[in-house]
Chains A and B, each alone.
Chain A
Amino acid sequence: MIIKKPSIFIYTHQADPAVLKEVCAGIEEEGVFYDTAEFPDECMEKLAYKAARDSMLGSGIGIFGTAVCLKMRGLEKGRNIENYLAPNRTQCRNIGANSARAIKKLPFKEEYRL
């Protein structure tokens, strides 16, 4: 039996390192675990959809290049919690924090205060 620890999944494809780092920092600040994995898919939404589906917590992030997308399990296609094509530093941090807040059932942050 494979036991996975409860964590947010981040599925990436050729992810921009700066984007990935800030997203991870956002999750870490909220005190939730995360796992990253590389998938050959060129659609941020598909990556996020699969990540949310596979995550035990039901929260997943997809990153393709700089494009980043947050989804929760059960959310219909085309409806994302938050997504950016070329996010700045605070937007990356925000998406990470919100993926964790989705699990804690806290309201989403609209703007991360750095």
Chain B
Amino acid sequence: MSYIAGVDIGNSTTEVCVGEVTKNGNLTFLTSASCPTTGTKGTVENVHSVKNALKMAMSRIGRETSDLDLVRLNEAAPVIGDTAMETLTETVITDSSMIGHNPSTPAGVGQAVGEILLIENISRAVPGTPYILAASADHSYEEIAAVINQYGASPETVDTPDGGIDIVGIILQADEAVLVENRIHRKVPIIDEVRRIDRLQDGVPAAIEVALPGQTIRMLSNPYGIATLLGLSPEETRTVTPIAKSLIGKRSAVVLKTPGGNIHENVLPAGEIYFHGDKSLTINLDEGAEKIMDAMAQAGDIRDISGQPDTNVGNMLSRIRTGMSELDKSTEADIRITDILAVDTLAPVLISGALAGETCLEKAVGIAAMVKTQKLPMQEIADRLKHDLETEVKVAGVEAVMASLGALTTPGTKLPLAILDMGGGSTDAAVIFEDGHVNLTHQAGAGELVSMLIQTELGLSDRHIAEQIKKYPLAKVESLFHMRMENGQMTFVDESIDPRFFGRVVLLTEDGMIRIEEEIPMEKIVQVRRDAKRKVFVTNAFRALRKVAPEQNLRNISTVVLVGGSAEDFEIPEMLMEAFTDYRIVCGRGNIRGSEGPRNAVATGLVLSYLGERGGQS
């Protein structure tokens, strides 16, 4: 009787499975465990996570790692993936020519045109000229209201020559619009929470607009509206179009007519990608994801992909190449980028020179790339493990074959069988036929690309929260005692929810709620999350399966088992199932050994393959 362990080192997690083999060749699975991979897959740093996972697994059956008789490592696929984002357009404001934001409480409604008048300079104002008053937070709301009531015209006197100065709109730095409005006699549109009010210049003509409750601005988000209010020529109207575009959807806005001031929409030099395949093709990144993928398909069998030097894409491609060459230090190392996945996306980018933190949606392309080398130094890891654990350690079996073997333990499967291994860095597919013959492929783009897309499209500050959004369902805390789930269901709680979560969108994790700091509606987050998953996984599933299918035809595949970390996701398997219905493919999340879910396929396969080898020997 002996204990056999299978170890699968993945891009993001290391999984182990331990089985007991009796003398007459009966195998019983005892335990399994997983923990995050330490270091890059295929490096000696992985030893820590392997030992850790083995310890965890063995302690579950009350044993020590020294009780193991054999550890079997997977011959990890020599691929690593990386992702990058390239913004294709940028918006730049020169001389602060607009403000457009959504303060929670502006006051008054309508639009007005006037000259900017700083409250300190109110004595220089003359009757008969319309003014837009600007006040910094140094002035209290009572002071501002008093000044306006003293110098400003009242509704009755505004049309008389000596009625006082004509204040048609107000811009405030503090959040006090309603307080000021309640204390002034003549009602005008008021915008507050303008952080960089110090950049407003005295005497500049400006147009101000506050939308009706529940609506967004109409005049200033329309180029002809701006032209009407500020009296622009056709040429000038053309130049304000980007301003109008970036003000769409805002509840309040100011547009300034500064002579030299302008807003530019630049198309950034994005760089080119070179495909070296059956045909050599060059494509510019700003052609968009679809064209890039078309070009790659046309290039046929890809030998290598490179990027224009000194561009973002060029740097990214050379970065992952160097990363891989550090793993395989042998001089004859043959490191090539064999696949990329490009996805179109929009990223909210902070406009440089903005007065109130405005952002503009810019076009961007997200790219995942994958490098392949001849072999990862798995033997080094095995030797190190052998020394540390004092047991037999063997590198055995190709990853995809082991995964297929493991996947076959899912109840209801039979040969021929296709597996789709959706991990963090790459999406792998394999078809195993009755005669044991295996077709396999590795594709760039998986979980990490999804996280990156979620992060950029929602404008999140860090990657970690994007990962969490990918993994967990959302809810909105509607009161201290109940919340609404993203599917509309309501949940009530006995003990009041922490006020920090009140009114916020939260993620429901195993260890409680996580708050999303950015104020983004729940529906928007759900939509972005689903789109990102669909763009990456559905596209890649078709790409990968088509490559391994007999005669490149999906209809020749009858069963697909989904394995790997991303198959555990709460919605990706359903998305794929829907996408495959047209091809009459049985597709579903794997359930390894009928109990493990989609994880642990490779580790299980490694233990199973031991039986096969032993059988062969005896």
> Complex formed: what's the CA distance from A81 to B500 in Å?
9
B105 interface contact, C-beta 8 A: yes
A4 interface contact, C-beta 8 A: no
Provide the residues of chain A in CB contact with B182, threshold 8 Å: 28
Provide the residues of chain B in CB contact with A29, threshold 8 Å: 105, 175-179
Query: Which label, helix, strand, loop or mixed, suits the secondary structure of the B interface?
Result: loop
A112 interface contact, C-beta 8 A: yes
> Complex formed: what's the CA distance from A83 to B534 in Å?
46
> Complex formed: what's the CA distance from A105 to B480 in Å?
10
> Complex formed: what's the CA distance from A76 to B497 in Å?
11
User: Smallest CB–CB gap between A107 and chain B, Å?
Assistant: 4
Scan A74-114; emit 1 where CB is below 8 A from any B CB, else 0.
Answer: 11100101100000000000000100011001111000111
Given the known A-B contacts A29-B176, A31-B105, are A74 and B502 also in contact in the complex, defined by CB atoms under 8 Å?
no
Given the known A-B contacts A31-B105, A107-B502, A112-B175, are A76 and B495 also in contact in the complex, defined by CB atoms under 8 Å?
yes
B249 interface contact, C-beta 8 A: no
The answer to whether A105 touches B479 (Cβ under 8 A) is: yes
B503 interface contact, C-beta 8 A: yes
The answer to whether B503 touches A107 (Cβ under 8 A) is: yes
B332 interface contact, C-beta 8 A: no
User: Smallest CB–CB gap between A91 and chain B, Å?
Assistant: 14
The answer to whether B502 touches A108 (Cβ under 8 A) is: yes
Query: Which label, helix, strand, loop or mixed, suits the secondary structure of the A interface?
Result: loop
Provide the residues of chain B in CB contact with A74, threshold 8 Å: 480-481, 496
The answer to whether A82 touches B499 (Cβ under 8 A) is: yes
The answer to whether A72 touches B480 (Cβ under 8 A) is: yes
The answer to whether A81 touches B499 (Cβ under 8 A) is: yes
Q: Which chain B residue has the least Cβ–Cβ distance from A97?
A: B175
Provide the residues of chain B in CB contact with A114, threshold 8 Å: 137, 174-176
Provide the residues of chain B in CB contact with A72, threshold 8 Å: 480
A15 interface contact, C-beta 8 A: no
B519 interface contact, C-beta 8 A: yes
User: Smallest CB–CB gap between A102 and chain B, Å?
Assistant: 7
User: Smallest CB–CB gap between B364 and chain A, Å?
Assistant: 29
Provide the residues of chain A in CB contact with B478, threshold 8 Å: 105
- Give the number of chain A interface residues (Cβ < 8 Å): 22
Provide the residues of chain A in CB contact with B141, threshold 8 Å: 25
> Complex formed: what's the CA distance from A107 to B515 in Å?
11
User: Smallest CB–CB gap between B114 and chain A, Å?
Assistant: 24
Q: Which chain B residue has the least Cβ–Cβ distance from A21?
A: B142
Provide the residues of chain A in CB contact with B495, threshold 8 Å: 76
The answer to whether A79 touches B496 (Cβ under 8 A) is: yes
Provide the residues of chain B in CB contact with A101, threshold 8 Å: 503
Provide the residues of chain B in CB contact with A108, threshold 8 Å: 499-500, 502-503
Given the known A-B contacts A105-B478, A106-B104, A114-B137, are A28 and B178 also in contact in the complex, defined by CB atoms under 8 Å?
yes
User: Smallest CB–CB gap between B146 and chain A, Å?
Assistant: 15
A30 interface contact, C-beta 8 A: yes
Q: Which of A13-52 contact B (CB under 8 A)?
A: 25, 28-31
Scan B503-520; emit 1 where CB is below 8 A from any A CB, else 0.
Answer: 110000000000000010
Of B178, B478, B480, the most chain A CB neighbours within 10 A belong to B480
Q: Which chain A residue has the least Cβ–Cβ distance from B104?
A: A106
B193 interface contact, C-beta 8 A: yes
Scan B401-424; emit 1 where CB is below 8 A from any A CB, else 0.
Answer: 000000000000000000000000
The answer to whether A106 touches B503 (Cβ under 8 A) is: yes
Q: Which chain A residue has the least Cβ–Cβ distance from B479?
A: A105
User: Smallest CB–CB gap between A10 and chain B, Å?
Assistant: 17
Provide the residues of chain B in CB contact with A97, threshold 8 Å: 175
User: Smallest CB–CB gap between B478 and chain A, Å?
Assistant: 6
Q: Which of B454-513 contact A (CB under 8 A)?
A: 478-481, 495-496, 499-500, 502-504
Provide the residues of chain A in CB contact with B174, threshold 8 Å: 113-114
> Complex formed: what's the CA distance from A105 to B182 in Å?
23
Provide the residues of chain A in CB contact with B179, threshold 8 Å: 25, 28-29
Given the known A-B contacts A76-B495, A107-B519, A113-B174, are A30 and B502 also in contact in the complex, defined by CB atoms under 8 Å?
no
> Complex formed: what's the CA distance from A105 to B502 in Å?
7
Scan B199-218; emit 1 where CB is below 8 A from any A CB, else 0.
Answer: 00000000000000000000
Partner of B502, one of A25, A76, A102, A113: A102
The answer to whether B496 touches A30 (Cβ under 8 A) is: no
User: Smallest CB–CB gap between B473 and chain A, Å?
Assistant: 19
User: Smallest CB–CB gap between A50 and chain B, Å?
Assistant: 18
Provide the residues of chain A in CB contact with B479, threshold 8 Å: 105
> Complex formed: what's the CA distance from A75 to B497 in Å?
9
Scan B158-198; emit 1 where CB is below 8 A from any A CB, else 0.
Answer: 00000000000000001111110010000000000101000
The answer to whether A75 touches B502 (Cβ under 8 A) is: no
> Complex formed: what's the CA distance from A97 to B104 in Å?
11
> Complex formed: what's the CA distance from A85 to B161 in Å?
53
Q: Which chain B residue has the least Cβ–Cβ distance from A24?
A: B179
User: Smallest CB–CB gap between A110 and chain B, Å?
Assistant: 8
User: Smallest CB–CB gap between B129 and chain A, Å?
Assistant: 30
User: Smallest CB–CB gap between B523 and chain A, Å?
Assistant: 16
> Complex formed: what's the CA distance from A28 to B496 in Å?
27
Provide the residues of chain A in CB contact with B496, threshold 8 Å: 74-76, 79
28 A-B pairs (CB sep. < 8 Å): A28-B182, A29-B175, A29-B177, A29-B178, A30-B178, A31-B105, A74-B496, A76-B495, A76-B496, A79-B496, A81-B499, A81-B502, A82-B499, A101-B503, A102-B502, A105-B502, A105-B503, A107-B502, A108-B499, A108-B500, A108-B502, A112-B175, A113-B174, A113-B175, A113-B195, A114-B137, A114-B175, A114-B176
7 more A-B contacts (CB under 8 A) besides A102-B502, A106-B503? Answer: A28-B182, A29-B177, A29-B179, A74-B496, A105-B502, A112-B175, A113-B193
Top 10 closest pairs, chain A to chain B, by CB: A107-B503, A81-B499, A29-B178, A114-B174, A107-B504, A106-B503, A29-B179, A105-B503, A114-B137, A75-B496
